[in-house]
Structure 1
């Protein structure tokens, strides 16, 4: 009886193993699958396969010819922990393309033609540890783009066209260990660069070279110069055009009081200047008109001499 039970158990184990193996042998066209590692690697594709195994944990789509992605391309792959779309021809991403990938830990998007990122495109990737966006054409990063990535350890932004990043762009990345920012168009003549400059000064050990091997906070340089972004401050670069630290702290009572005081002063100063200008113009016009009418100069001559149509009206109104 015991021997019979062992044979049945072995049979079922072999059968279930064969079923699983058969599932993974039905790999998508253009892909190779590894059932043990639950991974699929695809080459020579122009479109994302729609029959990738649902229990796949790794999907490698790098070095294909993907130019666009369906909005739900990966929504059935909720177990993915690794996704590479590197070195394709992607120009944009659908807004909710990664929404079901809550277990994803590595996302590689480098080597595409991305010019922008949709608002909140990474918000559902709460377990993400590596995000690679280097070697694209990104001109800006949306506000709050990385705020939900509280587990992120590595962020690659190298070799894009970024001129600045939004205020507090990296403040929520408490576990960040490595960030690569070199080879962008950092605009050090703009006030917007001040946040990045200050952030680099406070997180110098996280700023790495292109190979992520060496710390190099001075390697992030201004566009057109070799000056380091972390050397840029309001005091040594800008004049009155950039907001002070006090003005930036809009939530503090002290800064609010300061702002309100400045506003009141401006309101008090500008009317006085305006009144002075009006009075000066009024007195000058009266004097000029009196001279004109005393000498019996016609209004036609006034137009010719003054070449100011408004003077005609002023003098007509003030004519004795």
Structure 2
């Protein structure tokens, strides 16, 4: 009897759970649902519905009119593996918006108006493999923003307004195979920026403001020379390391070396010492001091000599030394002035 009751209870639990999880006949307003593919697609929305199936694995919100998201918009959707926000009007992503999406593998936020990312916004996406943030207005990235994305294989940051990259921003992305940085405002990348990307196969660096007159370009130049087969022109995949060119010229970044960067204004250690502000100041100070010291010393010497000569002449006159001696002594320049004038 006890065994029979246990089986009945288990049956009802499974049945109720199945009904709850498979109730795909009631789809959110403005959305279509596919229970077989466990996917929800929505169109014409200004807000994310709060009654999306909790067991959905794919949520497609591309080309809606979403201008902002509630911090809890995706809470409870912990089965999601794909979230597509492409082509909306999002200016920011609220902190904690993705914190329950631990199974998410693909996140596309392409073609929005993102101007900044909150610190830690991707920290819970530990299974994310594909992240696309291209075609936005990002000017910078928070430090360590990708550190939790250790399974990431595809990262697109192209067509933003990035002017620099944080130190070590890609260090944890050891599984990354594709990185897009094209069409930004980058002048250089941090030293060793790509050194941890051991699985990298494709990187797009074209259409940036690479500053080949700065010492900071040397790492990128050297890295391109050693990884030319990974440098692509576009998604088409054509290899072209020479296509990464210096700002204002058609010179390839990979042609820049320490020697020709030096000619363009990058000083060596010796020259830095010679032309650094500290050394320049010291040199200028010494020059001023010399200009000030020499006249003062000369005046001091002349005054001392003059006083001595006057005293000497006075001694001569008081002792009635012959005029012949005075005239001989007067051949000495200062004595001539003093003694002849004072001659009785």
Whether these two folds match at TM > 0.5 is yes
Larger radius of gyration: 2
User: What is the CA distance between 1:17 and its match in structure 2?
Assistant: 4.3
Deviation at 1:286, TM superposition (A): 2.1
Shift of 1:47: 2.4
Aligned counterpart in structure 2 of residue 98 of structure 1, from 119, 122, 132: 122
TM-score, normalised to structure 1, is 0.73
Matched residue SS, 1:59: strand
Contact 1:114 1:138 in 2 (8 A): yes
Please state how far the C-alpha of 1:51 moved relative to its aligned partner: 4.3
Task: Compute the displacement of 1:19 (Å).
Answer: 2.4
Does the alignment pair 1:39 with 2:50? no
Q: Pick one of 163, 180, 184 that aligns with 1:160.
A: 184
Per-residue CA deviation, residues 138-164 of structure 1 (Å, 9 max, x unaligned), is: 000000000010110000000000000
Residues 67-94 of structure 1: CA distance to partner in whole angstroms, max 9, x if unpaired?
1111011111111000000000100000
Matches within 5 A, 1:63-212: 63-212=87-236
TM score, norm. by length of structure 2:
0.68
- RMSD value over aligned CA atoms? 3.7
Q: Structure 2: any 5+ residue segments left out of the alignment? A: 1-8, 39-56, 307-344
SS at match of 1:192: helix
Deviation, 1:173, is: 0.3
1:30-73 deviations in whole A, cap 9, x for unaligned? 55555525100112212236343221110000101111111011
Q: Report what 1:221 is aligned to.
A: 245
1:279 to 1:11, Cα distance in 2 relative to 1, 3 A: closer
Q: Distance in 1 between matches of 2:152 and 2:98?
A: 16
- 1:32·1:41 contact (CA, 8 Å) conserved in 2? no
Tell me by how many angstroms 1:212 deviates.
4.1
Q: Secondary structure at the match of 1:22?
A: coil
Work out the CA distance in 2 between the residues paired with 1:148 and 1:34. 36
Answer whether contact 2:213 2:265 (CA < 8 A) is retained.
no
Whole-angstrom distance in 1 between the partners of 2:300 and 2:24: 99
Matched position secondary structure for 1:179: strand
Structure 1 segment 262-301 matched on structure 2, within 5 A: 278=289, 281-288=292-299
Q: Counterparts of 1:251-270 in structure 2 under 5 Å? A: none
Larger deviation, residues 228-237 vs 151-160: 228-237
Aligned residue pairs: how many?
A: 270
Q: CA contact under 8 A between 1:30 and 1:44: conserved in structure 2?
A: no
CA distance in 1, matches of 2:131, 2:80: 15
**Distance of aligned partners of 1:242 and 1:224 in 2 relative to their CA distance in 1, 3 Å threshold:** closer
Distance 2:265 2:291 in 1: 31
1:48 pairs with 50, 55, 69, which one?
69
